[in-house]
């Protein structure tokens, strides 16, 4: 059965593979490891549609690992603004420097995992796609496909061990990279979260969830916990066509990013909220583990160490999405 699944899926992939800027077509030589690694890091918790323009901009500005390793971290962080999960950008620079010191990308999964920011999934994906190694690649799409193929009833995240074991069973010795990308494409195009298109699926004959009649109930997920709501303030300080921006601490929320001054809100609690100024409005933003309501106040005096940034070049400041929302509110 495992061979039947992999052969059938690879035949489908040869005809239906997505055309993506970081991919090599089915049967072509493997793509540049740099492009595979960069795309996989960008795609964590982010859609393909959102990643494409960032990937094109990054590879145009920093076409290889050496160029990225030589880039100032603040430039990389600014170019990353809007993609979220900013620790990924900091780890990009660290990993680029590590690879530059090694002289080349490590070619095996174990060595790849030693690079900053490369967890089990990214290391397996790079090993399989860029180096043709047999590696077990499991992302959210693969979790969904495999959960349905084998009707894995335990809820996530507890079922991940079994999902990985089952994925290992059906991963072929040859073309493991194409197989991983085929699983991703199948999950994104046909075996979707809602309304899976079973009639078009090349694996419908082998799918236990389809035979059961309820494919959409898999993967089973534990009930979501309500996210806490945090509150904070940000301060708009404008003078002669410029706005006062600060640099956030290198660690913690949005670390190393340019931002508006604020009252010290964090994932752990509210800000102090004691500043006085003209209330401009409220912006809301969702983080992974909490939601934030941020009051935007107009202030006159500068706060903290920072720099005056021209308003007509504000888009070049690389503000994270939260503070870009606050800036749009203030400018409106």
Catalytic residues: 40
- Work out whether the CA dihedral 20, 24, 25, 26 comes out positive or negative: negative
* Residue linked to tokens 């997920």: 221
Helix, strand or coil, per DSSP, at residue 270: coil
The H or E element that residue 180 is part of is helix 176-189
Separation CA 251–CA 237 (nearest Å): 24
Residue with tokens 């074991």: 165
Nearest-angstrom CA–CA distance, 79 and 317: 9
Residues 234 and 326: beta-carbon distance below 8 Å:
yes
Structure-token pair, residue 112:
């790849």
Instruction: Report the distance separating Cα 285 and Cα 270, nearest Å.
Output: 14
Residue 306 tokens read as: 């920072």
- Dihedral of CA atoms 315, 318, 320, 321 in degrees, nearest 10, equals 30
C-alpha span between 265 and 256 (Å, rounded): 16
* Angstrom distance (rounded) from CA 35 to CA 41: 10
């Amino acid at each position: 059965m495992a061979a039947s699944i992999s052969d059938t899926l690879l035949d489908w992939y040869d005809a239906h593979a997505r055309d993506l800027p970081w991919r090599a077509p089915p049967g072509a030589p493997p793509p540049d490891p740099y492009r595979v690694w960069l795309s996989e890091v960008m795609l964590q918790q982010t859609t393909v549609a959102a990643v494409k323009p960032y990937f094109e901009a990054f590879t145009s500005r920093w076409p290889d690992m050496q160029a990225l390793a030589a880039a100032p971290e603040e430039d990389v962080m600014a170019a990353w603004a809007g993609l979220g999960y900013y620790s990924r950008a900091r780890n990009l620079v660290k990993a680029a420097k590590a690879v530059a010191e090694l002289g080349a990308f490590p070619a095996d999964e174990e060595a790849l995992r030693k690079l900053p920011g490369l967890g089990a999934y990214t290391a397996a994906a790079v090993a399989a796609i860029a180096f043709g190694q047999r590696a077990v690649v499991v992302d959210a799409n693969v979790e969904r496909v495999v959960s349905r193929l084998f009707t894995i009833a335990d809820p996530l995240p507890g079922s991940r061990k079994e999902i990985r074991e089952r994925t290992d069973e059906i991963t072929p010795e040859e073309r493991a990279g194409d197989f991983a990308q085929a699983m991703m494409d199948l999950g994104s195009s046909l075996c979707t979260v809602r309304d899976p298109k079973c009639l078009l699926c090349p694996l419908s004959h082998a799918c236990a969830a389809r035979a059961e009649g309820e494919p959409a109930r898999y993967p089973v997920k534990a009930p979501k916990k309500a996210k806490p709501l945090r509150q904070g303030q940000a301060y708009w300080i404008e003078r002669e066509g410029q706005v006062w921006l600060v640099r956030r601490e290198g660690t913690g929320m949005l670390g190393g990013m340019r931002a508006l001054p604020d009252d010290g809100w964090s994932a752990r609690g509210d800000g102090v909220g004691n500043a006085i100024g003209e209330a401009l409005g409220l912006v809301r933003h969702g983080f992974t583990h909490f939601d934030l309501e941020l009051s935007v106040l107009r202030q006159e005096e500068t706060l903290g160490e920072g720099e005056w940034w021209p308003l007509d070049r504000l888009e070049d400041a690389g503000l994270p999405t939260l503070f870009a929302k606050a800036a749009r509110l203030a400018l409106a």
